Amino acid sequence: MQVTEKRFYSPEEYLALEEAADYKSEYIDGEIIPMAGGSTNHNQIALNFSTELNFTFKKLDYRVFMIDVRLWIPKRRIYTYPDVMVVAGEPEYYNDRTDTITNPRVIIEVLSPSTKKYDRSKKFEAYRTIPPFEEYLLIDTTRRYIEHFSKTDNKRWSFRDYDESDEAIALSSVSFEISLADIYNKVNFEQVDAESALEVGES
C-alpha cells in the first residue's frame, strides 16, 4: 500500500495558489486546507450581523470586513477568513496586501458543523495571539445560541451565552448592541431539520 507524503507549502506558495483557485482555503503552518461551503443560514447570519455593524459604525472610526478579507496570524503562521471582523481605526495590511489584515479587534464566526470544534478551540487559541483582539462571538446556525468571549485582562477572558430572541448582545470593546432577533432575522431553522433528516436517511 502506497503512503502519500503530506505536502507542506510556504506562505508565498499558498498565496500564489489562493489567487488562482476557484475556492478559498486556509493556511495552517504549511498545510493548505480547503474551506467548507456555507449554507444559506450561515450566509444570512453573517450578512445580518455585518450589516448592523456597518450601519452603526457609519460615522465612527471602525471598519467592518467579511469573508473575502484574509487574516494573517504570524505567531501561528495561519492565514484564515473569519466570517466578520471589526477593526478599530485603519486596517493594518500584511506586506502591503490590501486583501490581508492583521489587527481585528472583534471576530465573529458563524459555526458550521464541520468546523465548530476547531472554531471553539484551536482557532480561538490562535486568535488570542493577536494583540488588538478583544472579543469573539460564535453563532450557531442550527438554533438560537451564541457564545460571547470578552477579554478582561492579560490572558483573562469572560464568557456569556445567549439563547432567547428578546436578548441583546452588547459588545464591550466597541460601542455596539444587537438583538438575537436581528441576528437570526430570515434564518430558517426548519431547513436545518430537513437537512439533518436527509443526512440520517442517507447514512
CATH number at residue 61: 3.90.1570.10
Note the pLDDT of residue 199.
40
Let me know if residue 169 belongs to a domain. yes
Let me know if residue 13 belongs to a domain. no
Let me know if residue 33 belongs to a domain. no
Cα R_g (the chain), whole angstroms? 18
Q: Give me the number of domains the chain comprises.
A: 1
Note the pLDDT of residue 114.
81
Q: How far apart are CA 162 and CA 34, in angstroms?
A: 31
pLDDT digits (tens, 9 = 90+) for 157-197: 999 999 998 999 999 999 999 999 999 999 999 876 544 44
Low-confidence ranges of the chain (pLDDT < 50): 194-203
Note the pLDDT of residue 144.
96
- Kindly give the pairing relationship between strand 146-153 and strand 156-162: antiparallel
The owner of cell 444559506 is 40
Note the pLDDT of residue 67.
86
Note the pLDDT of residue 193.
52
**Comparing C-alpha atoms, which of 102, 87, 106, 103 is closest to residue 148?**
106
Residues spanned by the domain of 142 = 38-202
Note the pLDDT of residue 1.
52
Note the pLDDT of residue 3.
54
Let me know if residue 100 belongs to a domain. yes
Let me know if residue 111 belongs to a domain. yes
* Spatial contact of 93 and 121, defined as CB atoms under 8 Å apart: no
The pTM of the whole model exceeds 0.85: yes
Let me know if residue 196 belongs to a domain. yes
Let me know if residue 29 belongs to a domain. no
Let me know if residue 17 belongs to a domain. no
